[in-house]
Amino acid sequence: MLQKIIKPVSFLLVFSFLLLDLSVHAAKAQMIDTSTVLAAQRTETDRARVAAFLGREDVRKVMVQQGVDAAEAQKRVASLSDAELAKISKTMDQLPAGGDGIGAIVGAAVFIFVVLLITDLLGLTHVFSFVNHHR
Partner 1 sequence: MFFPLSTTTAKRQANSRFLQAGNRMIAGLLFLALPLFLSGCALFPAERLPLAPGRPDKAMAAGVPFFAQEELQCGPAALAMALNWSGVAVQPADLTPEVFTPGLKGSLQSALLGAARRHGRVGYPIAGSEPLLAEVAAGHPVIVLLNLGFSWYPKWHYGVVIGYDQEQGEVILHSGLTASEHLSYRVFLNTWQRSECWGLLVLPPDRLPATAEEEPWLAAVAGLERTGQWKGAAAGYGAALKRWPESFGAWMGIGNSRYQLHDLAASAEAFRRATLLQPKNGIPFNNLAQVLNEQGKRKEALASAQRAVELGGPLLANFRQTLEEIKAKPAHKNVRKHKKHPSRRTAN
Could you list the residues that contact partner 1 (CB under 8 A)? 15, 18-19, 22, 26, 28-29, 31-38, 40-42, 93-95, 105-106, 108-109
The smaller minimum CB distance to partner 1, of residues 4 and 28, is found at 28
Please state the closest distance from residue 96 (CB atom) to partner 1, in A: 9
Cβ-contact 82, 104 below 8 angstroms = no
Please state the closest distance from residue 67 (CB atom) to partner 1, in A: 25
The smaller minimum CB distance to partner 1, of residues 22 and 124, is found at 22
DSSP-assigned letter for residue 95? S
Please state the closest distance from residue 90 (CB atom) to partner 1, in A: 10
Give CA angle at 103 (91, 89), nearest 5°. Answer: 15
The smaller minimum CB distance to partner 1, of residues 3 and 34, is found at 34
